[in-house]
Structure 1
Amino acid sequence: MKRFARFILFNILGWKLVGDFSKEVKKYVVIAAPHTSWVDFPIAILSRMASGVMINFIGKNSLFKGPFGFFFRAMGGTPVDRTKSNNLVDAIVQIFNNKEEFRLGLSPEGTRKKVDKWKTGFYYIAKGANVPIVMATLDFENKQIKISEPYYTTANKDKDFEVFHSFYKGIKGKNPELF
């Protein structure tokens, strides 16, 4: 499957993978941005498969209903009910604490629409689970998926977010006006 994904991603679609998901670090949060189109999902799944590292994801409940629910679960997804006010951060921290190996991919924007500021859940998940954050780009202009080394958060949230934002500076999503 890895060879097939690499063939599609690199040879057919013309993407490049710059860096790779850490195999040595068994637990981390991956933040992938920009998230401006439905096309981001298949590119992210192909890059995950091409790297050979399982990265799970969460998605809105509706994705997991009907005929595609099985597919999204098989791809490593877990449904989330965004209409209820539950403590999702604590629930995900618990998942990290209960597993020997777990990597979770999230969009810091939380949506494909343009946002003024990122959601902070990914940050508090990483802090609560005491795991690093790996940054990944979806740069459609250069057809590159750039992956950072694991970044361990500090006691200074503002400094950490400066690091995150600088990693994504100049990156163009599928719909650049939304990032």
Structure 2
Amino acid sequence: MKQFLGKFFLRIMGWKLDISVPVHSISKSVLVAAPHTTNWDFFYAVFSFWAMGIPMKFFIKDSWTKPWYGFLIKAVGGIGINRSERSNKVDFAVNLLRNDENLYLLNTPEGSRAWAEKWKTGFYFIADRAGVPILLAYCDYEKKIAGIGKVIYLENKTQEEVLTEIEAFYKDIKGKFPENYNPKIF
């Protein structure tokens, strides 16, 4: 049902789906989504992942999962996190990936929809410690295409090499508000 809804909503909004990466041959990954310049990114991303049949989860403030509408947030993949607690979220994410047979853990490393000086790198450490690849997801508002455009395997690569590869991938992708995206991610 989700796959049908994802395809339906993308079609009526005039978006195309990029399914060039063989995502179904990858059972677990850290899913990076950028550029993140508007709340609309969330909807296009969810519809795209549904259309591709990807079992995506994401972290969100637990205040979004506790009210009456919290069941909706959880239904689309939200995992409530209490950000005021001093817990290690990287360890938590690594354990999720290690203990689930089929999981794509979504991350928006810019940390905000506004211009960010550099990305937060927790996604890299999660992927490295869990031994999973990083998938690069995007919404290109100029071309009206959303999907997953690249797989990055971390074996035999330094953090700088991985970040350089990611930066090169996203350099030509246009967010809804391009002025809010810093193409220099580190």
Letter in 1 for 2:72: F
8 Å Cα contact 1:21-1:147 kept in structure 2: no
Letter in 2 for 1:96: L
Which range moved further: 105-114 or 161-170?
Answer: 105-114
Give, in whole Å, the separation in 1 of the partners of 2:145 and 2:43.
14
Give, in whole Å, the separation in 2 of the partners of 1:92 and 1:8.
30
Give, in whole Å, the separation in 2 of the partners of 1:124 and 1:149.
18
Shift of the alpha carbon at 1:63?
A: 1.8
Which range moved further: 132-141 or 153-162?
Answer: 153-162
Structure 1 pair 4/102, CA: closer, same or farther in 2 (3 Å)?
Answer: closer
Shift of the alpha carbon at 1:155?
A: 3.5
1:135 alignment partner, SS class? strand
Is 1:127 aligned to 2:128, yes or no? yes
Letter in 2 for 1:13: M
8 Å Cα contact 1:29-1:105 kept in structure 2: yes
Match of 1:25 in 2: 26
Match of 1:159 in 2: 161
Match of 1:178 in 2: 180
Consecutive unaligned residues in structure 1, runs of 5 or more = none
8 Å Cα contact 2:41-2:139 kept in structure 1: yes
Match of 2:94 in 1: 93
TM-score of the aligned structures, taking structure 2 as reference length: 0.90
Shift of the alpha carbon at 1:68?
A: 1.9
1:150 alignment partner, SS class? strand
1:56-79 CA distance string (max 9 Å, x none)? 111122221312211011111101
Consecutive unaligned residues in structure 2, runs of 5 or more = 182-186
8 Å Cα contact 1:21-1:51 kept in structure 2: no
8 Å Cα contact 2:55-2:102 kept in structure 1: no
Match of 2:4 in 1: 3
Shift of the alpha carbon at 1:91?
A: 1.0
Shift of the alpha carbon at 1:21?
A: 6.0
Structure 1 pair 42/21, CA: closer, same or farther in 2 (3 Å)?
Answer: farther
Shift of the alpha carbon at 1:39?
A: 0.8
1:171 alignment partner, SS class? coil
Aligned pair count reads 178
How much identity, in percent, do the aligned residues show? Answer: 39
Give, in whole Å, the separation in 2 of the partners of 1:79 and 1:21.
29
Shift of the alpha carbon at 1:111?
A: 1.7
Is 1:14 aligned to 2:38, yes or no? no
